[in-house]
Amino acid sequence: MEYLIAALLGVLEGLTEFIPVSSTGHLLLAGHFLGFQSTGKTFEVVIQLGAVLALVFVYFAKLGWVLGNMHRDPAALRFAVSVLLAFIPAVVIGVLAHDFIKAVLFETPRLIAVMLILGGIVLLFVDRLAPPAQFEDASALPLRKALTIGLIQCLAMVPGVSRSGATIVGARMLGVGRVAAAEFSFFLSLPTMAGAVAYDMYKSRDLLDFSDLGQIGVGFAAAFVVAILVVRWVLAYVGRNGFAVFGWWRIMVGSLALLALSAGF
């Protein structure tokens, strides 16, 4: 049973990390209702690395172009700077508020459910309210817009908001096209998630428990494989259909979670 739950949570991480539905919110709610807890949250931290590596796998060629040409290609350098600039606010606020976020916000399932619903409502209307797209290339966003997207990303430190949801909605409201908004969110997730995982492991270093390496490996592998499929699918989907389906999903999951919590589960 433990391995089945580990696989299910890994699949859930891979499915939700790069779409605007809040992977953290889904994992925390699933862990709550399944009664799953790992010592020091080791399992939850490590399986996120599976999603990070999936993104590196999918975008290996572009990442190689950026890293290999930063010293001679202004476009590659500008793209790298824009991502790092957007990453800075998360570093500052994440370090300052880490203990409060983990000890208070992550332990409040009702808050997570409410945030899922509110974020879903936003996604239903974002394409109608967003201004006409002025930027269709994720690697050529103005630095000021990149920094603004990074500031908006910090809203996702409240579990249930969704990191990708916050960055995509913020980008859309700044005149970034659907596909470019999703793609910039993907690239911004690399330093953000890697930094968050590293800092979580450092802060919880005395609590980390790798005794259940089998379960961790199953969850990691499931997150890696599923995330690859999701990343390759999501850009094509949002380019054709927008984000409303994710909004309805969030509202459904959040509403069901509130009903279950109210019933005493």
pLDDT digits (tens, 9 = 90+) for 138-193: 988 999 999 999 999 998 888 888 888 899 999 999 999 999 998 999 899 999 88
Scan for tokens 């790069």, then name that residue.
18
Reading the block at residue 257, the tokens are 């979670």
Residue 103: the pLDDT is: 61
Rounded Cα distance between 230 and 158, Å, is 23
Q: What is the DSSP letter of 177?
A: -
Residue 106: the pLDDT is: 61
Return the closest-CA partner of residue 255 out of 156, 115, 155: 115
Residue 68: the pLDDT is: 87
Residues 6+ apart with CB under 8 A from 41: 200, 204, 207
Q: Which residues of the chain have pLDDT under 50?
A: none
Sign of CA dihedral 236, 53, 253, 128: negative
3-state secondary structure of 176: strand
Q: What are phi and psi of 135, to 5 degrees?
A: -130, 115
- What's the predicted TM-score (pTM) here? 0.84
Reading the block at residue 54, the tokens are 């999936």
Is-contact 131 175, C-beta < 8 A? yes
Q: In the Cβ-directed half-sphere of 105, how many Cα atoms lie within 13 Å? A: 18
Rounded Cα distance between 239 and 37, Å, is 38
Q: What are phi and psi of 55, to 5 degrees?
A: -65, -40
Q: What is the DSSP letter of 243?
A: S
Following DSSP, what letter does each residue of 94-154 receive, concatenated? HHHHHHHHHHTGGG-HHHHHHHHHHHHHHHHHHHHHSPPP-B--GGG--HHHHHHHHHHHG
Residues of the chain with pLDDT > 70, as a percent, come to: 90
- Per-residue pLDDT of 51-60, as tens digits, reads 889 989 988 9
Please give the span between the terminal C-alpha atoms of the chain, in angstroms, as a whole number: 20
Reading the block at residue 31, the tokens are 């862990």
92: number of Cβ within 10 Å: 10
Residue positions counted in the chain: 265
